Amino acid sequence: MRRRRFLGVSAAGAATAAITPALTSCGGGGGGSGTTLTVVAADYGDSAANGSQEYWDKLARAFEAEHEDIEVDVKVYSWTEVDRKVADMVRRGEAPDLAQIGAYADFAAAGKLYRADQLLSISTQAGFIESIAEAGKVGRVQYGLPFVASARLLFYNKTLFEQAGITAAPTDWDELKDAAEKLKTAGVKIPYGLPLGPEEAPAETMLWMLSGGGGYTDTNGTYTLDSPENVKTFEWLRDELVGEHLTGPGTPGRTNRQQLFDAFARGEVGMLNGHPTLMKQAEKGGVKYGTAPLPGIHGKARSTMGIADWMMAFKQNGRQEEIGRFLDFVYAKENVLEFAVRYDLLPVTAAASDAMRESRDHKRLWQFLDELRHAEFLPYSKTSWATVSKGLKEKIGAVVAEGGDPASVLGELQRAGDEAEVAGR
């Protein structure tokens, strides 16, 4: 997710109260001479002022105040280095007790992680939103514990729509193309933003596959990258959007998501797919925007894409009981909600999600919450996904260029995924 993908507002009210009373200096610890849990976590802040270390320090001190036999030592790293830091620690035989990072499948496949049911109370494990918890399973066993999530919606610039004579957000591909044409005629620099550059290629690709009735995998988890639906989707993008010069002056395969978010906040983009962080960025830029479900080939897309980041517990140090006690605390409703609100993310538990919906302070996130419950997630559980993701970042942008061959490129990615699946067994 730099969240790298989401980044957002500060928390307030009751959500903060769960942590604040036990706040001590960051250097001090509430524990005695018992166990010290080591935690490595990702930084969701975009500056020193709103970095995640402060959240984790407060949380650790609050936990230690209730568990005098356990200390918690949390180290927070940027998203550019945290996954590598954890991988290096594991290779050196110095795995942390807990890691909150972007992927868990490789560690689970190597037998290095505790199962969720070995750690969590029944109520905590049952409290995850079902669609997100499913994405944390390898072979129907949950190893990845969702930490935060996000969903995608169509964002559109209300002012540009009004100037172009567009009265409503598009609900299908035909309406989307029609709106893009009107925006272009009205002089909008980027009628539709299509980021297929390395930063966002796997996510934007999945959004379009879903809107075309396809996806990365079938219900059995088998890759379907070169399905007829996916090929048709990218032929349409190539011919009807990019080929008609409705995606702006840049080349989609070289355009990253943040470039388009920045352009949207400057009022230069008519429409694009976005996540909650874009709301804050657009507001800072003074852009009046709206959000809508993703347009599909024949009406609203059957689902949107969900993004999740993961918590995982390593078996190396044998601290199963202590880890479980800490995780039950981490996933308390107030703590989950506090982190989500702080960074404009979506809670991963039903209780925190319900609390967010009950507060009108969070009304602008309600539509994202609705979409998240039925979202489809990237194939996090597949160790082969790293290979496929890399291939997508390198090649998918070319299929929408003039002369691009979606069937050939998607077929090549399909073969690479199948081969990686076999090699990982």
pLDDT of residue 84: 92
pTM (predicted TM-score): 0.83
pLDDT of residue 25: 32
Per-residue burial over 325-363, b = 16 or more CB atoms within 10 Å of its CB, e = otherwise: bbbbbbbbbebbbbbbbbbbbbbbbebbbebbeeeeebe
pLDDT of residue 3: 38
* Nearest of 84, 39, 19, 4 to residue 336 by alpha carbon: 19
Alpha-carbon span 258 to 263, nearest angstrom = 8
Question: Bridge-partner residues for 104, per DSSP?
Answer: none
For 14-151+307-377, CATH gives 3.40.190.10
Superfamily of domain 153-303+389-423: Periplasmic binding protein-like II (3.40.190.10)
pLDDT of residue 425: 61
User: Beta-strand (E) ranges in 232-321?
Assistant: 269-274, 289-292, 295-296, 299-300, 305-313
pLDDT of residue 373: 82
pLDDT of residue 22: 36
In the predicted model, residues of the chain with pLDDT beneath 70 are 1-33, 425
- Compute how many other C-beta atoms are within 10 angstroms of the C-beta atom of residue 185: 11
Where in the chain do CATH 3.40.190.10 domains reside?
14-151+307-377, 153-303+389-423
pLDDT of residue 33: 53
Question: Bridge-partner residues for 305, per DSSP?
Answer: 376
Burial of 46 (0-12, 13-18, 19+ CB in 10 A): middle
